[in-house]
Structure 1
Amino acid sequence: MAGFDYDLFVIGAGSGGVRASRIAASHGAKVAVAEEFRVGGTCVIRGCVPKKLLVYASHFAHSLHDAPTYGWTIEGQSFDWAKLRDFVASDVDRLERAYTSTLDSNKVEHFHERATVAGPNTVRLASGREISAKVILIAVGAWPVLPDFAGVEHCITSNEVFNLPELPKRVVIQGAGYIALEFAGVFNALGSQVTVVNRSDKILRGYDHDLTDRLLPILQARGIEFGFNRPIRAVEKQADGSLLVHGGEGEPIVADVVLVATGRRPKTDGLGLENVGIALGRNGEVPVDAYNQSACPSIYAVGDVTDRVQLTPVAIREGHAFADTVFGAMPRTTAYDHIPSAVFTQPPIAAVGLTEAEARANYREIKVFKSDFRPMQNMFSDVAERGYYKLVVDGATDRVLGVHMLSPDAPEILQAAAIAVKAGLTKAQFDATVALHPSMAEELVLMR
């Protein structure tokens, strides 16, 4: 190690940092990782995993509503927020232990304190100890952005939502991205009155407009209110503890909880990167090359802190590729095309590849195939929600460029479709595949 304490020191024990640590150690490197909060990072501790558990729990509200049509009589229905909250917290504890065990089993030393960069090969722990490393990896993730308005201190972010002492009766959510709409669906299903306010009149930027145009009225029909072109200007705390939300035209909105979900920013403040000549990007990100190397040759970065694609599976891929490249003598990069994504709204949407608008901007001729259907499971509901699938196809080669889905279980179905898009399969090959009947997935091979 030429006098270094470690071959690799990782700052941040989230999904990307843990994967990089484990793989580097498997290649024979001596590795340490520092985490100032909890091992597991945003996704495991305060992000996609606990949020998905809340989504699953909220689905029971719809199932119970439809139960009589299925022939079930369920008496004495009630919901206990504290029980759900505590169960989710216990599962987060379980996952943290699993991630910590992964580090231990791979002989990765971990420090439960904040670490910053003190030099090209030096990190400084919050305790004051300085540690040297041949290579430093930044994997600190991102952090919720709070707008600047009066009373913002009365608001919460997605970080705090899992620890609410009780289920709020009235919730105002600012933002119309995936975090905002997923929590809107959860609170709405659990019985809260939900109002979503947004600075524009669009939801889920980046997704195909056909999907979002169909999703919005479904959410409204479920009881979620939307205030477009109405960003929050101020929040006042009232004598009874409630919050008065001022935004745009109209009367103020009374709420018990105001959740701000207006985006996430790389968590690089105070990290000390200026000590090694790394100039941060416009959003505070660490600029890196295709091999995750920064402007300082001994310092690399992966995951949300690079602000390339803020998705947990991407961070994991980047961490693995980094470790193989630097410590395994197997140079690898991460491909950012054909990344599937989903929004766990109710119902959810899922997509991979180009939207119709993107395809029209990049290809001379495209063909679009659509399926508008009522899912069989919705026949038991008194709400006539419809599913919608869409294939975007290159007119010259017949290659499927994008798959876009709005339906129950769309994310579970999309993964297989993403393999097909990644492999460059054609519409004819989709059509040649025998349908699996009766299922929603069969719509993917029946569009003509």
Structure 2
Amino acid sequence: MADFDYDLFVIGAGSGGVRAARVAASHGAKVAIAEEYRIGGTCVIRGCVPKKLLVYGSHFAEDLEDAENYGWSFENAKFDWNRLRDHVLGDVDRLNGLYEKTLESHGVERIMERAVVNGSNTVKLSSGREISAKYILVAVGGWPFVPEFEGSEHCITSNEVFHLDELPKRVVIAGAGYIALEFAGILNALGSHVTVVNRSNVILRGYDESLRDRLLQITMSRGIEYKFHCPFQKVVKREDGAFDVHLEGQDPIIADQILVATGRRPKTDGLGLETAGIELGENGEIPVDEYSRTSCDSIYAVGDVTDRIQLTPVAIREGQAFADTVFGDKPSTVDYDCVPSAVFSQPPLAGVGLTEGEARNTYGNIKVYSSDFRPMKNVFARRQERGLYKLIVEVPTEKVLGLHMIGPDAPEILQAAAIAVKAGLTKQDFDNTVALHPSMAEELVLMR
């Protein structure tokens, strides 16, 4: 490999890129990684980690409300957005530093510049410097998609919401996917009036329909408004700094902030992949094979930029598999079957395997077991919200095809239960397990 400056050059220092870089280095490769902003990527810097911290912070509103029935009283309780925001951003700084130390301890050279592909074995930095590498790994992730409409420049995305100067009193959120509904729950709990606007009448497309319906009912009861079949027409800024949001077939909505959460797309614009003969997919994604190799043998891609499954743990596994395959003499692929996922809405929902609709279309003959219950904590706090667990089972084998739940701590419970679904266990295996009482998780082995 003496003909190249590096054995591996990674473009993008998110979860997938960092894992690939450090594992390749541990296999003896000479590795450099380029990042134009900060080490850690979407998840650590502007995604799941800081967002989950905001979820935790906002959940105290519910806890304080319920606390009275548990014997607690609080006088003059108040919320300080700036304090929460700054503490969250401080934790992002901490994690950024840890990622930098990880790369440093593995001997990976960090280059804090934008890098683009400039041929099959060359990258070009924003400074003009060209670097050669035997292998190039593209791991630049995705980026929020903002539709074109008049006044779209007045809107923010999930990138900017963590840096708001103040908590807006009135928020309009465009979109009804997981990012939109997570921020809707956060802002609603913190005291903002939230209106969710969607082009269709479906929220959380891809999740089980029963859970989607339950979440819609609960969030509406909490004060979140929904406007369906309402494409944006334009946004007009008022003299007082507020905005008039014009929707098709609706009266304008006044908002102090407009959050566009209409999806994310691979961040491949201007990346120079055409110089290596790589053609992008229709959504801008990089097509790869099972080993994450592109149509150019020396260039690979992992994570959201490939648009396979946009989840941090998946990107990490792809980065690991790439490094083991190319530098560890251990060909490895990622199993995308039964990947669990969660939406940290309020309440949260989580699922693994096939939804009821997917199972019927694939297997035809299925059976659905469920538990529709009011968690003990909610009963005592006089909160009417109900949890819902569903087990999708193949007939006649009784193999569990999918497990879906909405309710307090659903993601925490699902992670362990996902192991059972991945292992191919049956409904009888669940029934044979003694319940852990009193808990919400015991509903998993009591479903009828």
User: After the TM superposition, which residues 385-396 of structure 1 pair with which residues of structure 2 at under 5 Å, given as runs?
Assistant: 385-396=385-396
Cα distance, 1:2 vs structure 2? 3.0
Q: Report what 2:106 is aligned to.
A: 106
Q: Report what 1:222 is aligned to.
A: 222
Deviations 1:187-211 (A, max 9, x none): 0000000000000011000001011
Q: Report what 2:384 is aligned to.
A: 384
Cα distance, 1:128 vs structure 2? 0.6
- 2-side partners of 1:220 and 1:71: how far apart? 28
Q: Report what 1:249 is aligned to.
A: 249
TM-score when normalising by structure 1: 0.99
Q: Report what 2:180 is aligned to.
A: 180
SS in 1 for 2:18: helix
Q: Report what 1:260 is aligned to.
A: 260
- 2-side partners of 1:309 and 1:301: how far apart? 13
- 2-side partners of 1:36 and 1:156: how far apart? 21
- 2-side partners of 1:278 and 1:3: how far apart? 23
Paired residues in the alignment total 448
Identity %: 71
Q: Report what 2:406 is aligned to.
A: 406
Would the aligned equivalents of 2:70 and 2:381 in 1 still touch at CA under 8 Å?
no
Q: Report what 1:335 is aligned to.
A: 335
Structure 2: runs of 5+ lacking an equivalent: none
Would the aligned equivalents of 2:230 and 2:250 in 1 still touch at CA under 8 Å?
no
- 2-side partners of 1:246 and 1:41: how far apart? 34
SS in 2 for 1:215: helix
- 1-side partners of 2:9 and 2:309: how far apart? 23
Structure 1: runs of 5+ lacking an equivalent: none
- 2-side partners of 1:43 and 1:328: how far apart? 27
SS in 1 for 2:118: strand
Moved more, 133-142 or 58-67: 58-67
- 2-side partners of 1:72 and 1:423: how far apart? 44
TM-score when normalising by structure 2: 0.99
Would the aligned equivalents of 2:348 and 2:408 in 1 still touch at CA under 8 Å?
yes
Q: Report what 2:51 is aligned to.
A: 51
- 1-side partners of 2:270 and 2:276: how far apart? 13
- 2-side partners of 1:101 and 1:81: how far apart? 31
Would the aligned equivalents of 2:15 and 2:40 in 1 still touch at CA under 8 Å?
yes
- 1-side partners of 2:260 and 2:288: how far apart? 30
Q: Which amino acid aligns with 1:327?
A: F
Cα distance, 1:93 vs structure 2? 0.2
SS in 1 for 2:140: coil
Q: Report what 1:313 is aligned to.
A: 313
Deviations 1:45-73 (A, max 9, x none): 00000000000000000011112111111
- 2-side partners of 1:273 and 1:260: how far apart? 28
- 2-side partners of 1:324 and 1:304: how far apart? 20
Q: Which amino acid aligns with 1:115?
A: A
Cα distance, 1:379 vs structure 2? 1.7
Q: Which amino acid aligns with 1:86?
A: D
Q: Report what 1:281 is aligned to.
A: 281
Cα distance, 1:447 vs structure 2? 1.0
Q: Which amino acid aligns with 1:218?
A: I
Deviations 1:195-231 (A, max 9, x none): 0000001100000101111110100000000001112
Q: Report what 1:30 is aligned to.
A: 30
Q: Report what 1:439 is aligned to.
A: 439
Q: Which amino acid aligns with 2:310?
A: Q
SS in 2 for 1:233: strand
Q: Which amino acid aligns with 2:176?
A: A
Q: Report what 2:368 is aligned to.
A: 368
Q: Report what 1:194 is aligned to.
A: 194
Q: Report what 2:83 is aligned to.
A: 83
- 1-side partners of 2:109 and 2:344: how far apart? 36
Q: Which amino acid aligns with 1:251?
A: D
- 2-side partners of 1:73 and 1:274: how far apart? 63
Moved more, 357-366 or 282-291: 357-366
Q: Report what 1:3 is aligned to.
A: 3
Moved more, 248-257 or 352-361: 248-257
- 2-side partners of 1:257 and 1:186: how far apart? 14
Deviations 1:336-359 (A, max 9, x none): 110000000000000000001111
Deviations 1:311-355 (A, max 9, x none): 000000000000000000000000111000000000000000000
Q: Report what 1:66 is aligned to.
A: 66
Q: Which amino acid aligns with 2:40?
A: G
- 1-side partners of 2:447 and 2:20: how far apart? 42
